[in-house]
Each structure stands twice: as C-alpha cells, then as structure tokens.
Amino acid sequence: MYEYLIGHIEDVYEDKIVLDCKDIGYLIAVSSNTLSNLTGNNDKVKVYIHQHIREDEMSLYGFHDKQERALFRDLISISGIGPRVSLGILSTFSINDFMRCLSSSDEKAISSAPGIGKKTANRLILELRDKYKNFIPVSGEESSCFGEDSIDLRKDAAEALLSLGYGYAEAMSMVDSIYSSGMSIEDIIKKSLLSASIRA
C-alpha cells in the first residue's frame, strides 16, 4: 500500500495527473481541489495516495493532504458511493464547505454533486454528520460560504464548459479559481475561459 508519492507532474488530464517518480509515471485520479493545489508547481510535489483494488482493476487516487484523503475514504465506505462519485464530491466542495453542508443537513447542496441524489445525500449526512461534528476547518483555506444559488451557478457554469470539451473536474476547477459572489453565469464562463487561455 502506498502512503504517498513524490515527483514531478509530467502530464495533466481531465481529472488525472501523471506523476513522474524516478522515471516511472504513475497515473493518478485527483479531485479538482487537489488538481488546483498541485498544478502550476514546477518543483516536486507530494501526493497522498489511496490504492483502490478490485478483481479487474487497480487504480490510484491522489490528494494534496491527508485530510482530503481521510474524507475520501469515509465517503467510499458508504454504500452506493464509489471512488469516482467521491472525487466528484471533493471536486464540487472544498472540505470546509462540505462539512458545513453536513452540519446543516443541507441535502440539496450535497445532491448538487455529480452522481448524488437526495436519498444518497441523506444517507451521507446520517452516516458522517456525527463523525465530523467536531471538525476543525482546514488551515489556510478560505471559506466561501456558498449558498444554494451560488452552488447552482457554479454547477451550471461547469456544465456549460462540458459542452466545450472540458471534463467535469477540470471545469469545476476553472470555475472555482475565478468565482466570486455576485457573478452572473455569463461572467463565470467568460472569466473561466479567459483564465484557461492565459494558463495555456
């Protein structure tokens, strides 16, 4: 079992990175939050690893810190929530925002994540709310306090970017990197595309 890998990011895909560790390239699935924390760094990066093994597949999932990995492992322990859906949750919410949704039993906000319906959101709240009731906010992470309208705007903007060929995790990362309160969906899309063209 891998604990972490340290290396240079060789390639970035929609929701994966290739991490070059001493001339071996590891294909690692990541959330948009981890992607935004790791990319743009020309130095070596440390990626905390979860190795997911099934009869027909062995996959690596990577996280920029242990806290995100711990939440990922708690999510996949819940019936009906697999690794891909868990990454979708971690791409839709920052850890602080997700914990706020748990503590307030905000099933509507949680069900805005891809692959999560209201029943699954309720089950997730019931199984994780007590475990994280004493959660300490992630150090250094600004709390965006997304309301339902803001979550819907971000989701709609990301879905618009999907039609332009971007992956969901990449689209959410683009939106989150430029979003601020009061923006219209047109503003979000334009600024996301502008930011992406500048980085390219």
Q: For 18-68, how does the pLDDT look when each residue is reduced to its tens digit (9 = 90+)? A: 999 999 999 999 998 898 888 766 788 999 999 998 878 889 999 999 999
The answer to whether residue 137 is domain-embedded is no
CATH number reported for the structural domain that contains residue 108 in this entry: 1.10.150.20
d(CA 200, CA 192): 12
pLDDT at position 175 = 82
pLDDT at position 143 = 44
Domain that holds residue 58: 4-63
The model scores a pTM over 0.75: no
Q: Are residues 90 and 52 in the same domain?
A: no
Query: What are residue 50's phi and psi, to 5 degrees?
Result: -120, 125
pLDDT in tens, 169-191: 577 778 877 887 778 889 999 99
Q: Is 60 left (phi over 0), alpha (psi -120 to 50) or beta?
A: beta
Query: What are residue 197's phi and psi, to 5 degrees?
Result: -70, -35
Q: Are residues 106 and 157 in the same domain?
A: no
CATH number reported for the structural domain that contains residue 189 in this entry: 1.10.8.10
Residues ≥6 apart with Cβ < 8 Å to 76: 52, 82, 83, 86
Residue 2: count of CB within 10 angstroms of its CB: 13
Q: Work out whether the CA dihedral 13, 152, 144, 197 comes out positive or negative.
A: positive
The residue type found at 129 is R
Q: Is 186 left (phi over 0), alpha (psi -120 to 50) or beta?
A: alpha
pLDDT-derived band at 146 (thresholds 50, 70, 90) equals: very low
The answer to whether residue 143 is domain-embedded is no
The answer to whether residue 19 is domain-embedded is yes
pLDDT in tens, 87-114: 999 998 888 888 888 888 888 888 888 8
Q: How many domains does the chain have?
A: 3
Nearest Cα residue to 100 out of 147, 149, 68 = 147
Residues 114-123 have a mean pLDDT of 90
